[in-house]
Amino acid sequence: MWHTKRTSRLIALHPFGMSDVSRSFIAACVVLLGLVLSLLLLRGIAHAQGIVVSGTGARYTFAQQMTFTVTARSDVDILSAVVVFRARNGPERRGIGVFTPGKAIQAGFVQQLVGGVLPPFSPVTFWWELTDAAGRKTTTPPASRDYLDNRFPWKEAAEGSLHVWSYAGDAAYARSALDVARSALPRVNQELQTQLPPRVDIYLYTALDELQSALLLAGRDWQGGQARPDLGVVLAAIAPGQGALAQMKRDIPHELTHLLVFQATGVGYARVPRWLDEGLASVNEELAQPEYQLALEAADRAGQLIPLETLCAPFSPDAGLAQLAYAQSQSVVQFIRNNYPDGIRKLLGAYIGGATCGGGVEQALGTTLSALEFRWRASLGPQGVWLTLVNSVGAWALLAVMVSLVLLPLAFVRRRAQEAAGKASVRQGGLRVRTR
């Protein structure tokens, strides 16, 4: 009876047969067990993740050095960090990161930029390869950093694929450059008929010495303007103010032509003769340069034109010879345009196919390089024919030919006179015989 009463009492106290204290204790155990399981699960996930990278970066001082960095952690020591980097269309380079091995690291690699290891005005792509003590490896996603001349505070003006960068002048100055470029691209491409670059960046320096210093610091040759066709970049020294628009109409179409010739020829661009590449760029300038014509005429009169074969290679660094080289190249390209239908595109096609300077002329125009030069020189004017002969066979040889042309008729006349005199003598002799 007592047992029955006690059981009934317990049932009456709680319908499930336990007290409130017991229920709370069990709930606390369940919560604690869940926390333990969660911690174990998180630890397992962390262990499965291995190396975790929290950040990468690249900073630089123009033409001096570029520093690549990475921050990472792992459940075991990270032992190796190697950065792989390259400029657009350039070779891959590798650098070993400097750091103290551990579960959490900050590694860095410094690449010296003196001597042009990385081309300026190029995006630099980089990524890190990390290895920990467990043999696990991870590679970070590629990141990119534009390597610009950060000595100047560049401002951007853009329209479509065209981007003009300047650090001086007003909005109208940058707008003028955009307008010139937008007009020049389709005009130049009308002849080349190639695919336009997906992006074109034009950097406007205000002075030639600033552009020169940028290229020299970066280990590059300097010029008044320069194109990096493989990068889609144009560099020009054009000061804001009066005369800026006129210079833009000369320099920007000139450099854009180099970009489009590269687009048309690709890897064959290196085989395009310099006279053809620069000649095309010069004839596409929106405003003519009178000094070219003056230099051409002076050299023609003096018999000092540069052989076309010499202009297949890079031009002389001498300012006077370089100006004449540009003038001749412009004139030769215009001559080809006037006398050989679709000759320019045929020439580029030949050089894409691997032709040499002279071989491309023979393949595309059906004539030799020397014959093309002879015809072009003769087209310069009446004196061009004689100067071409002098340059082709030599002054003394030509003089000998001219003397021969004078003396041969005289010798022929003298010989005829002697023959006539001999016949008269014979006739006289015959008459004397018969009279006897």
Claim to verify: residue 7 and residue 60 sit in the same structural domain:
no
Residue type for position 362: E
Q: Kindly report the length of the chain.
A: 436
Q: Identify whether residues 39 and 62 lie together within a single domain.
A: no
- Give the pLDDT confidence score for residue 417 in this predicted structure: 55
How far apart CA 379 and CA 371 sit, in angstroms, is 12
Q: What is the pLDDT of residue 114?
A: 83
User: pLDDT at position 34, please?
Assistant: 60
CA-CA distance, 346 to 355, in Å (whole number)?
12
Tell me: do 241 and 261 sit in the same domain.
Answer: yes
Residue 308 lies inside a defined structural domain of this protein? no
CB burial of residue 74 (10 Å; 0-12, 13-18, 19+):
buried
Lookup result for tokens 């002054």: 395
Please identify which residue in the block is written with the tokens 């401002």.
155
Residues in the chain predicted with pLDDT less than 50, given as ranges, are 1-18, 36, 39-48, 224, 384-398, 401-403, 405, 408, 412, 423-436
Residue 30 domain boundaries: 2-48
pLDDT of residue 221: 59
Question: Is residue 416 assigned to a domain?
Answer: no
Amino acid at 202: I
Please tell me whether residues 191 and 246 are part of one structural domain.
yes
- Asked if the structure places residue 242 within a domain, the reply is yes
- Could you tell me if 43 and 56 lie in one domain? no
Model pLDDT, residue 385: 41
Exposure on the CB side of residue 57, measured as CA atoms within 13 A: 10
Q: What is the CATH number of the domain that holds 173?
A: 3.40.30.160
In a domain, 138, yes or no: yes
Name the domain count of the chain.
3
Residue-level pLDDT at 283: 97
